[in-house]
Amino acid sequence: MKKTAVSLLALLLNIVCQAQNFDVIPLGIYGGEQEDNLSAYLVGAPKDNAFLCLDAGTVNTGIRKAIQLKSLEGSAETVLKDQIKGYFVSHGHLDHLSGLIINSPADSKKDIFAIAPVIQILQNHYFITDTWINFADQGQKPILGKYHYNELQEGAEIPAPKTPFFITGYELSHVTPYKSSAALVRRNEHYLLYLGDTGADRIEKSDRLDHLWNTIAPLVKKRKLNTILIEVSFPNSQPEHLLFGHLTPNLLVEELSKLKEKTGQNNLEGLNIVVTHRKPTGDNPELIKKELLKNNPLNVNYIFPEQGKKISLP
């Protein structure tokens, strides 16, 4: 009887661990060139229309594609104004924020979450009269005050208003000393990790990914973090001196192997790795996919997002 009870308990724990906790809707998946399909991912709770947008390279086109695929409900205007409650901007490159800028006149009041250097870029280079107009609540006058800046302090969790989420920022290296960032998103006791552009620590001569792996390893071991969205921009043929702060399939495996040292192989197996930011030049996206699937010693679960197609995650 005791053995049966223990088996039943293990089964229930496994079901709880695998319960759906996040919906991710890619509004854009690529890392350049295709201006209608650039890095932007809505994260929401199942059966909830309150989304946090992780980067915002493409917004409107992605919303319309998601509506067409029935991943979102309502009009494009309703989704933009009412359902997207805030934006996390990982860094200041246009392929991660141009959709936010272009759609700002049609948008509603909401929050922007970013580390201090990224807020400074928005204030000093984008939301200024010479390039656009200041739709935020700090910076160059006239200040329209539509967006409220929330500065993310390293490792300090803050709520994302009007969503069920809390967000913690972590600095990344994207061609030292240029800074990108990651967002650890929490809903109840479950987590999802999104990384903006990042180079490997070995190439960047940095410890930012190692610091991030140390932070999330306990969550992976406890099955509280089941999904990482991380970039792989180039295939393995790209020379290391021409990576410009990005990853290849081999470098991703190199970094995930460091995470494995902190979690153990068993805890890493089956971890969902959503591959973002593939450069769309030539057959790069398909080549990157083939190289990742061919060399998967850690037995992680690679997911290759499609614009507008919802991904349901534990």
Q: What is the pLDDT of residues 1-56, one digit of tens each?
A: 455 554 455 445 444 445 899 999 999 999 999 999 999 999 999 999 999 999 99
Check: CB of residue 238 under 8 Å from CB of residue 288.
no
Is residue 12 in some structural domain? no
Stretch 244-258: mean pLDDT = 98
Determine the 3-state secondary structure of 298 from DSSP.
coil
Q: How many folded domains does the chain comprise?
A: 1
Is residue 269 in some structural domain? yes
Is residue 3 in some structural domain? no
Is residue 151 in some structural domain? yes
Is residue 213 in some structural domain? yes
Domain containing 305 equals 22-313
Q: How confident is the model at residue 289, as a pLDDT?
A: 98
How confident is the model over 68-99, as pLDDT tens digits?
Answer: 999 999 999 999 999 999 999 999 999 999 99
* Residue 289 identity (one-letter amino acid): K
Check: CB of residue 285 under 8 Å from CB of residue 278.
yes
Chain-wide mean pLDDT for the chain? 95
- Count CB neighbours of 132 within 10 A: 14
List, in order, residues 6 or more apart from 286 with CB less than 8 Å away: none
Q: How confident is the model at residue 15, as a pLDDT?
A: 46
Is residue 17 in some structural domain? no
How confident is the model over 107-119, as pLDDT tens digits?
Answer: 999 999 999 999 9
Cis peptide before 142 (omega within 30 of 0): yes
Is residue 211 in some structural domain? yes
What's the CATH code of the domain at 66? 3.60.15.10
Is residue 302 in some structural domain? yes
DSSP 152: P
How confident is the model over 170-199, as pLDDT tens digits?
Answer: 999 999 899 999 999 999 999 999 999 999
